[in-house]
Amino acid sequence: MVQDPFFREMLMRNPRILDKVQSILGPSFRLLEDQMFYKPARRGAPIVFHHDNIHYGIKDPKVVVCWIALDAATSENGCLRLLPKSHLKEIPHDRVPGTRRRIAQFDHSELVDMHAAPGELIMFDGRTVHGSGPNKTSTPRRALNMVCMDPATTSELMSFNLESNPYLRGG
């Protein structure tokens, strides 16, 4: 999406979003990754519980995820589910053999369903455990995310460059 002018304006040059990220990461931060999460009607798959710092191989805690609902997100269509305060703990993750994926091990009764209206922004720390359920409804559930990082962030799985990971503020 970083190459697409519409999404670039809507997400990466949107002062209402960037000001909020700046209040957490400070005056200088870069794009780590941006994604579209599309759960088609009736067959949209769940996303296993994980936190993004493990997913991206990052030890540095300064990662902020901005998640934006394009459709109303409900428990029935697979809204985001977060584990409150998990960014303050060390939540163990198991490796999924043969893949890069990791699955967080925790008590699922503590999860919170994050219902969201279209256009609503949910922000969470890179260490917050999250995932989502299947879409059981007859309409799609779509969302965008933009993951922002402190410019000094390093990863044991990825290398960053200015084309794919531009400065969104500062630089």
Ligand X SMILES: O=C(O)CCC(=O)C(=O)O
Q: Is 132 in the site for ligand X (CB under 6 A)?
A: yes
Phi, psi (rounded to 5 degrees) for 136: -100, 5
Task: Give the residue nearest to ligand X (CB).
Answer: 132
Per DSSP, helices labelled H in the chain are: 5-7, 15-25, 52-55
Among 53, 145, 153, 165, the residue binding ligand X under the rule CB under 6 A is 145
Alpha carbons 74 and 86: distance in angstroms, whole number: 22
Alpha carbons 141 and 43: distance in angstroms, whole number: 11
* Count of chain residues binding ligand X (CB under 6 A): 11
Q: Is 82 in the site for ligand X (CB under 6 A)?
A: no
Q: Is the distance from CB of 49 to CB of 83 less than 8 angstroms?
A: yes
Among 65, 104, 146, 149, the residue binding ligand X under the rule CB under 6 A is 65
CA trace torsion 34, 158, 162, 130 (10° rounding): 30
Among 21, 31, 37, 86, the residue binding ligand X under the rule CB under 6 A is 37
The SS3 assignment for 94 reads strand
**Of 22 and 124, which CB lies nearer to ligand X in the complex structure?**
124
**Of 94 and 171, which CB lies nearer to ligand X in the complex structure?**
94
Q: Is 56 in the site for ligand X (CB under 6 A)?
A: no
Among 11, 31, 32, 80, the residue binding ligand X under the rule CB under 6 A is 80
Alpha carbons 34 and 156: distance in angstroms, whole number: 19
The footprint of ligand X (CB under 6 A) covers: 37, 47, 52, 65, 67, 78, 80, 130, 132, 143, 145
